[in-house]
Chain A
Amino acid sequence: MTGRGILLLALAGALLLAAPLVADRYVLSVLTTVLWFAYVGQAWNVMMGFSGLLSLGHALYVGLGAYVAAALFVHFGIGPWLGLWAAMLAAVAAGSFIGFLSFRFGVRGVHFALLTIAFAEVARIGFDHIGWLGGSAGFFIPVAEEAGNDLANLRGSPVLFYYVALALVAGALALARALLHSRLGYQWLAVREEPDAAEASGVDLFRARMSAVVVSSALTALGGVFQAFYFNNLFPEQVFSMGRSIEIILPAIVGGIGTLFGPILGAFILTPLGELLTYLIEVTGYDLPGLKQLFYGVALVAIVVFRPEGVWPWLARRLGLARRPGETAVPPNREGTR
């Protein structure tokens, strides 16, 4: 990273740390949502961006993490700091199962993406029918009074959740950076770009791909734990939905797949854009169902048509941050279908 890059990163970090001093409740809730999507987008990026595995079912890991931690808390009084390990374990187990089946049987590309959707859908319909977890009527965590911040049980004010989300994003960024510059990270990139060449030079494809799934699903499950305790309610139709999986992948795609700052930038673009649209629709009184989503669709098409490598690589060049071409990673090659 260049000196200017470190300076900008420090400045952005300081601004985010200081934000609760000036932000009101609404702005804080928007920022928390931004950070949540930045975090899970980063987690998804480990699979797609670093290792070239297109997962369209990441809602599965969010939902498993959320439900496991929430169930342990509600039914057994086990707090989230212990529960998150179980949550990560559940998501890693599911991810490893999908990965094991896919990579053993040579399921790739479109087929792999379809399989991830299928498992998320199975979970959605399955959780709809688990009465112990509320079924389709939803599962609720008792809402705590806002007077005291109880970090041990993750109960408290929006400011507490904001800082937890910020810590998640910072942690995921640091981890992703460390991984990317590790032996494993280089293996991932090699597998993403040229699986055959990577295998020929001694990379164990199965292990490299599996480790990407494990890291990504574990990180995503943490996002689920946060979601459960932040919103206090879980509905299978929402947490496991295909729509949620798509929301998770959008920040990384808009920001730039395979880049460290892409998912964060993408989340800072998409969530406020959605809020702005809601606001405009309210102000103009032109309230038609679907109008907001229609704009979302147009924005999506516009981004892939005009800025296909994502916004971050372009912005990084503009800010003079890309020292070497490798520093803003190249989007993955077309692989898998043929």
Chain B
Amino acid sequence: MPFDFYLNIVASGLLTGLVYGLAALGLSVIFGVVRVVNFAHGEMMVAGMYGSVLLAGWAGLDPLLSAPLVAAALFAFGWLLQRGVVNRFVERPEHMQFILLLGIATIILNAMLMLFGPDSRNIMLPYSFDTVEIGPLLLDAVKVRAGIAAVLVAAALFAYFRFTRTGKAIRACADNPLGARVVGLNIDGLYALTFGLGAAVVGVAGALMTLLVDSRPQLAPEYTLLSFVIVIVGGLGSLPGALLGGVLIGVTEALAGFLLMPSMKSLFTYLVLILVLLLRPQGLLGKRA
């Protein structure tokens, strides 16, 4: 049944892609509002992964339960980072922001390398090898849970931006920082809040990722690039775009890894990026500037 077979690969890629999309969502939120590209994004994600791994080791917590704790820790980190350092760079040229966040990424990555070592760690769960059967689909239970959790967190974030007063204020900042200042919004505070939210979201994505892959510090730069690719593919500043981009990249990776060689799967990720940049530089769901 080759069709069922492909369907399974696509479904599996889709579930992984939802977690990718959640990670990219964090990047998109930060860029869309603060207008700073977070080059330490993958590092924050891997920090979230290690948070879950440690909590699983100490307290036997399921990553789905430790995710809120990880989110809180990364929110604090992101908030402090924006308040302490990044805020001074908001008006600076792009390449300087890039170097600043690159330096921060290097610090986080190597601190993790020193603390946890280069070996990969995984979390064993009672349902690690369970499968879920839906019609012709036979899916890993961990992937199903991670995918559903990613969708729920993303939905909560959308609702926050859509319906709460603070969420609206943040969107006002994104649309027009000067106008937002004129009507009396505390821009610096909202920027810090946004950076914290973006960091918390990617932290949750990291926690969910521990269900799918083993944690290694070296994953961080890969995830940074992956998040960028997804955000650009989906459209900078478009939140649904980030999820769509994540799913697209997840499915592409799964298919390429299966049809060709696993080592060539990220090649296709970049080819998708190049295609999108050429045909629709604003991204799939982005608006033209």
Residues of A participating in the B interface, judged by any CB pair closer than 8 Å: 48, 54, 56, 101-102, 105-107, 109-111, 113-115, 117-119, 121-122, 125-126, 128-129, 242-243, 246, 253, 257, 288-291, 293-294, 296-301, 303-305, 308, 331-338
Contact = CB atoms under 8 A, between A and B. Distances in A.
Contacts of A297: 103-107, 109-110
B114 A288 contact: yes
B92 interface: yes
Given A110-B94, A301-B85, A304-B96, A294 B103 contact: no
B113 interface: yes
B110 A294 contact: yes
Given A289-B114, A304-B99, A296 B106 contact: yes
Interface string B70-111: 000000000000000100110111111011101111110111
Contacts of A289: 113-114, 117-118
Contact of B113 (A128, A246, A290): A290
Given A114-B228, A125-B267, A304-B96, A291 B114 contact: yes
B273 A118 contact: yes
A334 B146 CA distance: 39
Contacts of B277: 101-102, 105, 107, 111, 114-115, 118
A308 B96 contact: yes
B110 A300 contact: no
Contact of B111 (A114, A294, A334): A294
Interface in B233-285: 236, 261, 263-264, 266-267, 270-271, 273-274, 277-278, 281
B104 A301 contact: yes
Secondary structure at the A interface, as helix, strand, loop or mixed, is helix
Give the interface residue-count category, chain B. 35 or more
B238 to A, nearest CB: 14
- Residue among B106, B221, B232, B271 with the highest chain A CB neighbour number at 10 A: B106
Given A289-B114, A289-B118, A54 B99 contact: no
- Residue among A106, A129, A297 with the highest chain B CB neighbour number at 10 A: A297
A14 B106 CA distance: 37
A54 B96 CA distance: 11
Given A288-B114, A289-B114, A294-B110, A304 B100 contact: yes
B121 interface: no
B266 A54 contact: no
B229 interface: yes
Contacts of B273: 114-115, 118
Interface in B214-238: 217, 221, 225, 228-229, 232, 236
A155 to B, nearest CB: 34
B59 interface: no
B56 interface: no
Contacts of A128: 263
B1 interface: no
- Residue among A114, A296, A338 with the highest chain B CB neighbour number at 10 A: A114
Nearest to B217: A290
A114 B94 contact: no
19 contacts: A111-B277, A114-B228, A114-B229, A117-B228, A121-B270, A122-B274, A125-B263, A125-B270, A253-B95, A289-B113, A290-B114, A293-B109, A294-B111, A297-B104, A301-B85, A304-B96, A305-B88, A334-B92, A336-B94
Contacts of A117: 225, 228
Contacts of A243: 221
A293 B263 contact: no
